[in-house]
Structures are given as structure tokens and as C-alpha cells.
């Protein structure tokens, strides 16, 4: 539904702003961590994906990190880490990638303006 793209962008901005201001709920964070770890482990059950993962890690980092190590790093992420990263991202101009007909998407200026408006409203709220 291309006509809902502008609404989706607004919802995403509001969600990011909510995380920046209030953080994430511990239950949501735990659920997200479990989902990510499950996805990583299930993907590695495929030999093709496993070989691709090994090659990518060796070419990128020079070592292969074990699935256990990756899961440990996911477990180490805190709600404060998520909030910090979102705050840092919201402090910079947005980067947008569109796929499909560009006429279906709001312009970069409209998205940046919407972000600025939400940030300004939040700063003015008591």
C-alpha cells in the first residue's frame, strides 16, 4: 500500500523517539534478543548459509566467531545500550533508502522535517 508510506515513516519516527526518550521495556528487549539468537542459530543449520557466514567473517574480521560468542554478545546488550544508539542516530540527519517507485515515498525533506517536528514537540513538552 504505497499510499500508507508516509504514515509508516511517521510511526517509525515516533517509535524511535519513544525509545530515545523512555528506553525499551525489559520484556521487549528479552524477546528481541531471543528472536535474534534463534534466527542466527536456525540460519546456521543450513550448510550454504553456514559457509557464507564463515567466509564473510573471515574476509571481514580475519576470524570466525562461534555461534556461542555471538549469542553472548547479544545477551550483553542492555536497554541503556539500545537507548544510547537510538539517541545517537536521532541526533544526525537521517539516511533513507527507498525500494520501489520513488513517487510512492515521501521526499527526504519531508521525512527530515517530520523528524525535526517530533523532536521539537518533545523538547517543548514538560
Residues 52 and 36: their CA atoms lie apart, in Å, by 18
Which residues, other chains included, contact 80 with Cβ-Cβ below 8 Å and sequence gap of 6+? Answer: 23
For each of the domains in the chain, give its residue range(s) and CATH number, in order of start.
Answer: 2-124 (3.30.830.10)
Residues 79 and 90: their CA atoms lie apart, in Å, by 17
> pLDDT tens per residue, the chain (126 residues)?
666 777 787 788 889 888 988 999 999 999 999 999 999 999 989 999 999 999 999 999 999 999 999 999 999 999 999 999 998 888 888 888 888 778 777 888 888 887 787 777 766 765
DSSP string, 11-60: HHHHHHHHHHHH---HHHHHHHHHHHHHHHHHHTTSHHHHHHHHHHHHHH
Q: What is the pTM of this model?
A: 0.76
Amino acid at each position: 500500500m504505497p499510499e500508507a508510506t508516509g504514515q509508516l515513516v511517521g510511526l517509525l519516527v515516533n517509535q524511535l523517539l519513544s525509545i530515545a526518550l523512555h528506553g525499551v521495556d525489559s520484556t521487549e528487549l528479552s524477546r528481541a534478543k531471543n528472536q535474534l539468537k534463534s534466527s542466527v542459530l536456525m540460519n546456521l543449520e543450513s550448510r550454504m548459509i553456514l559457509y557464507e557466514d564463515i567466509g564473510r567473517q573471515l574476509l571481514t574480521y580475519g576470524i570466525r566467531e562461534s555461534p556461542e560468542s555471538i549469542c553472548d554478545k547479544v545477551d550483553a546488550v542492555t536497554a541503556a545500550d539500545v537507548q544510547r544508539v537510538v539517541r545517537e542516530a536521532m541526533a544526525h540527519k537521517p539516511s533513507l533508502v527507498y525500494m520501489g517507485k520513488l513517487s510512492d515515498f515521501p521526499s527526504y525533506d519531508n521525512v527530515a522535517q517530520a523528524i525535526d517536528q517530533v523532536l521539537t514537540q518533545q523538547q517543548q513538552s514538560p
